[in-house]
Structure 1
Amino acid sequence: MPAPTSSTAGAAPATRPGEGLRDRHGRTATDLRVSLTDRCNLRCTYCMPEAGLPWLPKPTLLTDEEVSRLVAIAVRDLGVREVRFTGGEPLLRPGLTDIVAAAAGLQPRPELSLTTNAIGLERLAGPLAAAGLDRVNVSLDTLRADTFKELAKRDRLEATLRGIAGAAEAGLAPVKINTVLMRGVNDAEAPDLLRFALEHGYQLRFIEQMPLDAAGVWRREEMVTAAEILDALRGEFDLVPDPAHRGSAPAETWLVDGGPAKVGVIGSVTRPFCGDCDRTRLTADGQVRNCLFARGETDLRGLLRSGGTDAEVAGLWREAMWGKLPGHGIDDPAFLQPARPMSAIGG
């Protein structure tokens, strides 16, 4: 993996502590995504090859204490209000519960969530809830065991379903389900997945496949679009646009059969929401990414380990976000897929 480079494109103007993570296009990041590992126990085809990837060397990974310090700086000094822990698969991080507890102890307390494949969540949901985790987002692309194995290269559907149920029982609500439809693989399952979510009280969101696969074989014409997803759902459900204000939420939502149940669609490619983006990302090896599709990164780990103060770290973080581009540029002929795949960035 190539060495990270800075993508600040010019330092931010002088700011006072607490002014937040602004960019030159008028957006302010208040939602932090923290990747805790690039490793995963599944091999979903849109994310990671079956043989896996060269993992980040352990000495480059942030320690639990470094993660907690950076989260604290983000919340206390930079105005972050929501923190989501991601991976790879964050349940593989041994210190996850302690990291969650440290974040839950911050003032002001941020909203805390976890994006996971739910394998092992049946056992960990209770301890994570006790530590202060508020809710989970679970990746579930199919309800069929054979399709799960085809997509994830592992026969773990039942473990995932047990983990989802365990999260609900532990009070990690609302449980949100994230689904990526693959043409010719699971694209016929959209109505079944929505019925499953409605039956159990989960919130389902379909996500357009994005050009973040490790193999770099994504093709827009092969992607199942938001419009196609909605057409498939409307064949069996009555969908009405949700009158609630969307704000910076990535999902457009629809009331299902009159509500109150809803379904969401995240059209990252065909219906981009870059103008309202409020996210900043921290990789497992301590790099700030100001966009999921950023071509460059800003190194906070080096500053931490060289004795940088919290104020210096906050200042560098502000600079990183100030250079954020207005959009991801997927439709630009010059678009280049990031060097890191999704598993090494964190969703």
Structure 2
Amino acid sequence: MSSPVPLPLPVLRPAATTPGPVADAPVADARVTTTGPLTDRFGRVHRDLRISLTDRCSLRCTYCMPAEGVPWIPGTDLLTTAELVRIATVAVEQAGIDELRLTGGEPLLRADVVDVVAALSALRGPHGAPEVSLTTNALRLPQLASRLADAGLTRVNISIDTLRADRFLALTRRDRLADTLAGIAAADAAGLHPVKLNAVAMRGVNDDELVNLVRFATERDYEMRFIEQMPLDAGHSWRRTTMVTGAEILERLAGAFTLTPVPGRGAAPAERWLVDGGPGRVGVIASVSQPFCGACDRLRLTADGQLRSCLFARTETDLRALLRSGADDGALVAAFRTCVAGKQPGHGIDDPAFLQPDRPMSAIGG
């Protein structure tokens, strides 16, 4: 790796509270490397880029979005497909990114999502083709799963917090459980394996379904994953005292199954266990109670072109402004390196000074 040399710094902005322009923030002096992998000052190498395709969603999950009055990002602020692909190209070819996860909002609401997947799957970096995956609510998978697989999509993560239709309606404010289940089956039929199912565990809401969700998944060769609820709701009503912890989830599951730890977690967010000796597996993402920040290798690109070093970051690097001002690839690489250089050691949820991001999850991208 080359020795650090000063590079022109791109604009760092405070994360927007609502869509629209925000003032430039002062930037501390930083030195970044000009070659090699995206390594931060704590030695973490970043190879995973989460790309939000839209902040729009076809559901209104209570822990993510309000029922009405969502301040959508203006269309002119959204990255065009050409801009998105150019950023991804620089990330893969010149910055060492080898995993691209498409998120939202609901990424399948983007009209040209199949074309986006095809363009990203055609990229080649130092490690070869990137893995292109997608997180979705599955509602459009019956129409799109086979086309996405043909375009190069490798796998999907599908959100499903309950198997009860009445509870699904209450949680998502939409009566679409049957469509979600059809989408899961479509992903399986299209070969988008492993099919991973994500559920946010919520006390008094769906924590009585944890065992049933695991049974549903393992009987169909899917992998169930439970996520601790994080402070990313639009209403800022999250309270740690009411959160179902990863330890509680495991205690509940251990009463019904024999759980055997799966070694080799690496930078993956989920700790995984074999269920009753396998092959079924269950994962727990304990982002709050047992943070895995020390191994984090992820960056996030919002649908309006802001690069974030952490889900809970309070600043963003404005790649859209660089693109639209005519910046060359070198400036984009420098922006990635500057973003990574400023990454904090952890998300700081346990810090008394922690502030929830102003943007909700739907605007950041998961």
Please report the TM-score for the alignment, with normalisation by the length of structure 2.
0.92
SS at 1:13 equivalent: coil
Q: How many percent identity over aligned positions?
A: 61
User: How far apart in 2 are the matches of 1:219 and 1:55?
Assistant: 26
Deviations 1:64-111, CA, capped at 9 Å, x for gaps? 111111111100000001000000000000111111100111112100
Residue of structure 2 equivalent to 1:25: 42
1:323 and 2:348 are equivalent in the alignment = no
Equivalent residues in 2 for 1:1-347 (5 A)?
1-2=17-18, 3=22, 9-16=28-35, 19-107=36-124, 108-242=128-262, 244-347=263-366
Deviations 1:198-226, CA, capped at 9 Å, x for gaps? 01110111000000000000000111110
User: How far apart in 1 are the matches of 2:81 and 2:224?
Assistant: 31
Point out where structure 1 has 5 or more consecutive residues left out of the alignment. none
What code does the residue aligned with 2:105 have? G
**How far 1:261 moved relative to its partner?**
1.7
* Structure 1 outlier segments of 4+, above 6 Å: none
Point out where structure 2 has 5 or more consecutive residues left out of the alignment. 1-16
User: How far apart in 1 are the matches of 2:238 and 2:352?
Assistant: 15
What code does the residue aligned with 1:78 have? A
**How far 1:240 moved relative to its partner?**
1.7
Q: Is the 8 A contact 2:32 2:337 kept in 1?
A: no
**Pair 132,333 (structure 1): closer, same or farther in 2 beyond 3 Å:** same
**How far 1:151 moved relative to its partner?**
0.4
**How far 1:269 moved relative to its partner?**
0.2
**Pair 7,342 (structure 1): closer, same or farther in 2 beyond 3 Å:** farther
Q: Is the 8 A contact 1:8 1:319 kept in 2?
A: no
User: How far apart in 1 are the matches of 2:143 and 2:23?
Assistant: 36
User: How far apart in 2 are the matches of 1:201 and 1:50?
Assistant: 34
User: How far apart in 2 are the matches of 1:118 and 1:47?
Assistant: 17
Q: Is the 8 A contact 2:228 2:287 kept in 1?
A: yes
**Pair 7,100 (structure 1): closer, same or farther in 2 beyond 3 Å:** farther
**Pair 208,60 (structure 1): closer, same or farther in 2 beyond 3 Å:** same
User: How far apart in 1 are the matches of 2:26 and 2:306?
Assistant: 11
SS at 1:123 equivalent: helix
SS at 2:315 equivalent: coil
Q: Is the 8 A contact 1:226 1:265 kept in 2?
A: yes
Give RMSD over aligned pairs.
Answer: 1.2
Number of residue pairs matched?
344
What code does the residue aligned with 1:160 have? T
**How far 1:52 moved relative to its partner?**
4.6
- Structure 1 residues 252-261 or 83-92, which shifts more? 252-261
